[in-house]
């Protein structure tokens, strides 16, 4: 039976205060620069972990891959921060298949967890599941029933872990009208539901239709289905997460595992699905191209958009730690 639950290891949450999301901050301040008072650098010198959104933040576009030469500066900063005792990780809406290249480039520590599927899944970079929120069988049946009766299409995302908690399979399955795509945008092959193990868990769904009327009808029906959180994404898509999941909830599990307090974390994001994450950390930074909600939830705003804004913020953390502390954390040398 597929059910909704948090599957969290015993060490998650030990000795680390729970995350309390703050209210909207208002207009974010510019990041400190070379002319700023050294005291303005203090919050950045105290950062023990950097959490990065992927699309629109670390990545300028979907073709911005770590294999390209443009990643040179980012890779240099990852190594520089590691030498200063500050690991980096990701909080993304992508599946593991779509996030893997960036995980390998950014999360150089195999024990540093990453947040996937907009917070539905938390796992170590080595592939061990720490927590997951899943869709119940009843929610899945109601969702697929809505697609079948109203029209449109849907992809369901499934994960399976072995007895040790190590991820051993990730699938996307198709429901709806038309011919299923061979692959979805993360690069996952679209599989028949019969190929998915019966004890796999569905952690997310993506619905779409070219017909605006059908999309509107689907959105109305989805709001009535218990156990899910639907979000309209762009002009075509409706993203569905298990109820109660978010990047901030995923962060709480991640920080419990690492024993890092929220006020020692810097998060960088650009969109509405980053709002709770930005409100949950001590140093919240939005890139210059961020949405209005992301900006109102951030303490600081970069001068530059997307990738260049991330580089600006990471350079500031490295500079602040060099000037104000020589401390190397337990993640600094491994």
Instruction: CATH number of the domain at 237, please.
Output: 3.30.1240.10
Q: Strand 237-242 vs strand 228-233: parallel, antiparallel, or unpaired? A: antiparallel
Using DSSP, state whether 295 is helix, strand or coil: helix
DSSP assignment letter at 59? B
Closest CA relative to residue 314, chosen from 292, 283, 279: 283
pLDDT at position 104: 85
* 38, 126: one domain: yes
pLDDT tier, 24 (very low <50, low <70, confident <90, very high otherwise): low
In the chain, at which residue ranges do the beta strands (DSSP E only) sit? 29-30, 49-52, 88-90, 113-116, 121-124, 129-132, 153-161, 167-176, 190-191, 201-208, 228-233, 237-242, 265-269, 283-286, 300-301
pTM: 0.88
Q: Which residue has the higher pLDDT, 130 or 82?
A: 130
Is 202 a domain residue?
yes
pLDDT digits (tens, 9 = 90+) for 229-268: 999 866 689 999 999 999 999 999 999 999 999 999 999 9
pLDDT tens across 96-129, in order? 999 998 888 887 667 789 999 999 999 998 899 9
What's the rounded Cα separation, in Å, for the pair 305 and 58?
A: 10
Residues 72-88 have a mean pLDDT of 83
Q: Going by C-beta distance under 8 Å and a sequence separation of 6 or more, which residues neighbour residue 119? A: 91, 133, 241, 245, 246, 247, 248, 249, 250, 251
Longest dimension (CA), the chain: 62
Question: CA 46 → CA 20, 35, 139, distances in Å?
Answer: 19, 20, 43
Average pLDDT over residues 182-203: 96
- Mean pLDDT for the stretch of residues 325-330: 55
The pLDDT of residue 153 is above 90: yes
Q: Is residue 44 part of a domain?
A: yes
Q: Is residue 149 part of a domain?
A: yes
195 found inside a domain: yes
Same domain, 148 and 211: yes
Number of domains in the chain: 2
Reported as a pLDDT band with limits 50, 70 and 90, residue 80 is confident
According to the model, what pLDDT value does residue 251 have?
Answer: 98
Sign of the C-alpha dihedral, residues 207, 289, 186, 254? negative
Integer-rounded Cα Rg, in Å, for the chain is 20
- Give the range of the structural domain holding residue 266, as residue numbers without chain letter: 29-132+246-324
Residues 42 and 88 in one domain: yes
Strands (E), 82-227: 88-90, 113-116, 121-124, 129-132, 153-161, 167-176, 190-191, 201-208
79 or 270: which carries more pLDDT confidence? 270
Domain boundary among 242, 271, 294: 242
φ, ψ (nearest 5 deg) of residue 57:
-120, -85
Please say if the pLDDT value at position 334 is more than 80: no
- Average of per-residue pLDDT across 273-288: 97
The predicted structure's pLDDT at residue 82: 81
């Amino acid at each position: 039976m597929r059910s909704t639950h948090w599957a969290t290891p015993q060490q998650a949450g030990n000795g680390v205060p729970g995350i309390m999301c703050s209210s909207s901050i208002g207009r974010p301040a510019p990041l400190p620069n070379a002319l700023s008072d050294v005291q303005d650098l203090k919050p950045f010198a105290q950062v023990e972990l950097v959490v990065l959104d992927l699309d629109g933040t670390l990545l300028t576009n979907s073709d911005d891959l770590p294999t390209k030469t443009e990643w040179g500066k980012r890779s240099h900063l990852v190594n520089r921060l590691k030498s200063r005792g500050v690991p980096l990780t990701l909080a993304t809406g992508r599946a593991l298949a779509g996030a893997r290249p960036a995980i390998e480039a950014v999360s150089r520590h195999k024990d540093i967890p990453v947040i996937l599927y907009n917070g539905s899944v938390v796992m170590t970079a080595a592939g061990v599941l720490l927590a997951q929120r899943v869709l119940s069988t009843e929610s899945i049946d109601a969702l697929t029933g809505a697609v079948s009766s109203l029209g449109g299409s849907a992809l369901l995302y499934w994960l399976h872990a072995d007895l040790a908690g190590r991820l051993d399979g990730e699938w996307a399955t198709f429901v709806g009208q038309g011919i299923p795509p061979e692959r979805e945008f993360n690069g996952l092959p679209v599989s028949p539901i019969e190929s998915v193990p019966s004890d796999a868990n569905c952690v997310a769904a993506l619905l779409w239709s070219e017909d605006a009327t059908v999309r509107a009808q689907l959105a109305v029906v989805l709001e009535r289905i218990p156990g899910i959180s639907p979000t309209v994404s762009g002009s075509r898509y409706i993203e569905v997460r298990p109820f109660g999941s978010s990047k901030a909830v995923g962060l709480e599990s991640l920080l419990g595992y690492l024993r890092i307090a929220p006020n020692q974390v810097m998060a960088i994001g650009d969109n509405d699905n980053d709002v709770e994450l930005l409100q949950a950390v001590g140093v919240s930074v939005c890139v210059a191209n961020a949405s209005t909600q992301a900006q109102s939830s951030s303490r600081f705003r970069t001068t530059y958009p997307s990738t260049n804004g991330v580089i600006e913020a990471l350079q500031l953390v490295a500079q602040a730690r060099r000037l104000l502390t020589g401390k190397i954390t337990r993640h600094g040398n491994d």
